[in-house]
Every structure is written in C-alpha cells, then in structure tokens.
Amino acid sequence: MTHDSPTVGVNRTNPDRWKADIALSVDMYNTWFMEFAPSAYRETRVKVTADVEATLRTTENLTNVSVALLKDNPGVLPTLRMSTCPPIAVDRLVGLAGVSKNLVSAMETSKLPSRMKAISLESDLERIGTIIERMADPDIFVWLKREDRSATETEVHRAATIVADRLCGAVANPIIRNAQEKRQLASIASWLEAHGYKRTVDGTRYDAMPPGTFSFRTNVPVKLEGGLITINIPVDAVVMPHASGQGEMPLLIEAKSAGDFTNVNKRRKEEAVKMAQLRSNYGAGIRFILFLCGYFDTGYLGYEAAEGIDWVWEHRIDELAKFGL
C-alpha cells in the first residue's frame, strides 16, 4: 500500500468542499454539545460539590479560615475565593489582602512557595483568611448571619452546590473541551479497531510500534536550536499503518474541536509550529494531520493548508483510510 505524498491532499487541496464541510462539522459539534455537554458539566459539578463540602468542613463552615488550615490545604483557595460576595479574582485577592502574588499563584495550584520566609508566609496566610471570613457571602452561607446557631446539613449542601457552580462556571470551557477530546479519541479508536488495529501498551515509543498498532498521547521528540535542546511534542493519536516498512514513521493525528470560530484562529499557529518542528527533524515526508470537529472556518483551513497540513473531518471519519490506514 502506498501513502499519499505530502503534495497530494485529501481535504486541504479541495477548497470547493470546505464551506459545506464547515456547516456539517458545526452541526455535528452542536448536536453533541446539546446532548452530552450538560451531563459532562453535571458530573464535574457533583465532584466539585463534594470537594467544596470537604473544604467547608475543614474551615468549620467558613467560621475559621486559619493559617494552619491554609498551610495544610493550600488548594482550598479557589473554593474560598468563590465563597465571597462578590467572588474574588486572584489579582483582586492579592490587592485586597496585600499579600505576595507568588503565594496566591502557588496556592491556586495546591502548593506553597518553597522559598518564602516562614514569618512572611504566616503573615500573608493570616491576611488571606481574614479577607475570606470578612467577605464570605451571607446569602449563601446563611448561618453566618446568626451567631447563635450552626449550619444544618441541608444548608451546607446547598451552599456547596452554589460555590461549585461558580467554580465550574470559571472552568466551563476546559470541562467541555476535555469531554470532547475523550469522545474524539474514542471515535478514532473505534474506527481503527474496526479496521484491524490494536492499541499498544502505554509507554511504547513512537518508533517501536509494530505495524497495525496505535497509541494515544504519545511523545515524539524533536531537537531545537541546532540539536542543543530536545523537547517532546505530545501527539493525540499515533498510528503505524498495516503496510508500514522497516523504519517508517507512523501517521500523527492531532484531535481538534472548537465551540466557536474565534478561538481557533487565535490558536491556529500551534499546529503550524508543530509541523515545522517535525519536518525539521524527520524530513518533508512526515505525515501530521488534524482530526476536526466543530467551528473551523475557511480562514483556519486556509492557514493550515498553506502550511501543508491536511485534515480529516469527524463527520467523514472514513477518510482516514485515504492516509494509508
């Protein structure tokens, strides 16, 4: 079996089909979004709600945001920021509390700065705790309005759900993107398995894959700056065609989805940079394609085509076969 040469295209050289494909791709994405995105969001919200409830327990339902608590559990800070009225952004908290931005940024990733002096750390954490307690939203945490009673289980759960909604709202796009990526990789896996491919053991190198196998999220190393630096390019799907010969490179597939036209044109250079790095290391014959679903307009497609990057639309997934699979 012969593979398409880099100069022969499947979709990039057929611009007369682009507009029709864009419409079909948008329809496919919207159908998925309406049907499955709410459940992906809800599943995440259930988990986040449980995490918020745990944070409330450790803070005695926001009545004791202590230095010791913040030291032991720096990762609770995003929850605490979403528990105030109004919710406090990272930079706003830094300004309000008069604390180190490095500290707040580290806590957002569940860490504490390793080089911060103990006395400064204690002082800054105390200031953060004071701001959170002072600005805790009394309409959510209704028990804070009255000192003569503690929170009921129902009130805590209701408050945790509201805070979880705020947290999920702040990361809604990543939640949807992750769910869509899982679905796209599952589609690729189903198609490959139906055509006799088997998934390799996790960790198998891209250049050690037997013919007729595939892997997900595999690193492909490239050398930069004249070979002085080596970096790994993560590739969503790597497939070694059945008819591959000794030393042949696999087909590299990048799964891309988008829920609007704006973001794709902001990020369209990412694939071009990957392609340039791969070509400089593995030659012009390297085969790197996109697997598209969603909002990819003619501007995006034209840019990628000009870079020599081809693609398969998910609504025509059988065109994977045209790339030698």
Query: How does pLDDT run across 26-63, given as a tens digit for each residue?
Result: 999 999 888 887 887 888 888 888 889 998 888 888 88
Mean pLDDT of the chain: 87
pTM for this one? 0.69
Mean pLDDT within 284-299: 91
Block residue for tokens 């499947």: 10
Number of Cβ atoms within 10 Å of the Cβ of 30: 14
Which residues, in sequence order, are CB contacts of 183 under 8 Å at separation 6+?
Answer: 32, 36
Per-residue model confidence as pLDDT tens digits over 66-90 = 999 999 989 899 999 999 988 898 8
Give yes or no for a contact between 123 and 76, defined as CB atoms under 8 angstroms apart.
Answer: no
Copy the structure tokens of residue 245.
């010969």
Q: What is the DSSP letter of 256?
A: E
Residue 206 has pLDDT above 90, yes or no: no
Give yes or no for a contact between 132 and 145, defined as CB atoms under 8 angstroms apart.
Answer: no
Give yes or no for a contact between 131 and 89, defined as CB atoms under 8 angstroms apart.
Answer: no
**Cα–Cα distance measured from residue 144 to residue 7, given in angstroms and rounded to the nearest whole number:** 68
List the one residue out of 189, 258, 245 whose CA is nearest residue 217: 189
**Cα–Cα distance measured from residue 300 to residue 264, given in angstroms and rounded to the nearest whole number:** 7
Copy the structure tokens of residue 94.
């830094």
Domains and their CATH numbers in the chain:
15-38+173-323 (3.40.1350.10), 41-171 (no CATH)
| CA of residue 47 relative to chain centroid, distance | 17
Query: Is the C-alpha dihedral spanning 161, 164, 169, 174 positive or negative?
Result: negative
Per-residue model confidence as pLDDT tens digits over 1-27 = 334 444 458 899 999 999 999 999 999
Mean pLDDT within 195-203: 89
**Cα–Cα distance measured from residue 274 to residue 305, given in angstroms and rounded to the nearest whole number:** 14
